Amino acid sequence: MSHLSPEDLYSLEEYAKMRNDYRATIMAHKKNRALAIGPNATIYFEDQQTMQYQVQEMLRIEKIFEQDGINDELAAYNPLIPDGDNWKATFMIEYDDVDERALMLAKLIGIERATWMRVEGFDKVTPFANEDLGEGDMGRETEEKTSSVHFLRFQLDEKMVDAVKNGAKISAGIDHEHYRHIVDPIAENIRNSLADDLD
């Protein structure tokens, strides 16, 4: 899956005219990219379409039209586009109640490293986390709590990629002492969308 270039983007004027229809298309696409693991954790798998939407929205909000600014946004979001042998995702811990969320973020330190994906017939794959920070996987937590948002990369080997392309089921889960849930298998629409990332 190729990275975005300035030529892929709409101008601010073009985007303003098409934004409502474009947003509806992206929201429909994202329904095949969101994987809930239990009631309070969701993996939102990213791809070229979701990242173009993020870039377009940032350019719109910040009114960025100069090339340097556009390049900065692309540099920030392109690393979240899959490379053909991995899945990249935004991982979110979601508790509506503020007090409960604070309590659980204190308990769930390391949850991103306890998250996994598994291609049928192979071992679990745990992610590289928060590489966007350039600090390894410890960049979004402290000794007191973890963050509610993490960025994950699930790296697959060649045999796993081939298996997914040939229809293998995919499962996912979290094995944390304070949060254990499994989705086995994940829904077919999400499986098929993830298979499309492996090109």
What is the mean pLDDT for each group of 10 consecutive residues in the chain (199 residues)?
91 96 97 98 97 97 94 93 96 97 96 97 96 54 88 97 98 98 98 95
Interatomic CA distance for residues 131 and 137, integer angstroms: 7
The per-residue pLDDT for 138 is 44
Same domain flag for 190 and 119: yes
Same domain flag for 20 and 112: no
The per-residue pLDDT for 140 is 64
Same domain flag for 76 and 100: no
Same domain flag for 130 and 56: no
Check residue 189 and give left, alpha or beta (phi > 0: left; psi -120 to 50: alpha). Answer: alpha
pTM above 0.75, yes or no: yes
Strands 34-36 and 128-129: unpaired
Phi, psi of 78 (to 5 degrees): -60, -35
Q: How many Cβ atoms from other residues are within 10 Å of residue 190's Cβ?
A: 20
Q: What type of residue is 174?
A: I
Count of structural domains, the chain: 2
Could you tell me the residue range of the domain that residue 156 belongs to?
A: 37-44+93-199
The per-residue pLDDT for 137 is 42
